Amino acid sequence: MDIEKARKAVTDFFSTILGKDAKIIKIGKSEGGWMGEAEVYEESSFIKSLGLPTRVKDRNVYEFSLNDDLEVNSYALKEGE
């Protein structure tokens, strides 16, 4: 499989699931598929919890894995981000 196809599969997935654009910051071939990290800017959860209007965005990094058929097997917010 081509790395560009894997990148597109991940960005399409995040666009559909989170409704946000994702930037792939790390991707590599793994046993049985692909894995990496995607950067997504989302509304600040802290500011939102205060009920304040703002344009402040949090930079969140998600870890993901894909199988060889380019289907996302898992994704999670990276610890410490």
3-class DSSP assignment, residue 24? strand
Q: Given a cut of 90, is residue 62 above it in pLDDT?
A: yes
C-alpha to C-alpha distance for 57 and 48, rounded to whole angstroms:
10
Q: Given a cut of 70, is residue 30 above it in pLDDT?
A: yes
Of the chain, the percentage scoring pLDDT greater than 70 comes to: 98
pTM, full prediction: 0.85
Band of the pLDDT at 5, cuts 50, 70, 90?
very high
C-alpha to C-alpha distance for 66 and 35, rounded to whole angstroms:
6
Structure tokens at 58: 């949090």
What pLDDT score was predicted for residue 81?
Answer: 57
- Are the beta carbons of 64 and 72 closer than 8 angstroms? yes
What pLDDT score was predicted for residue 48?
Answer: 84
* Domain extents in the chain: 3-77
- Are the beta carbons of 3 and 36 closer than 8 angstroms? no
Selected residue with higher pLDDT from 53 and 74: 74
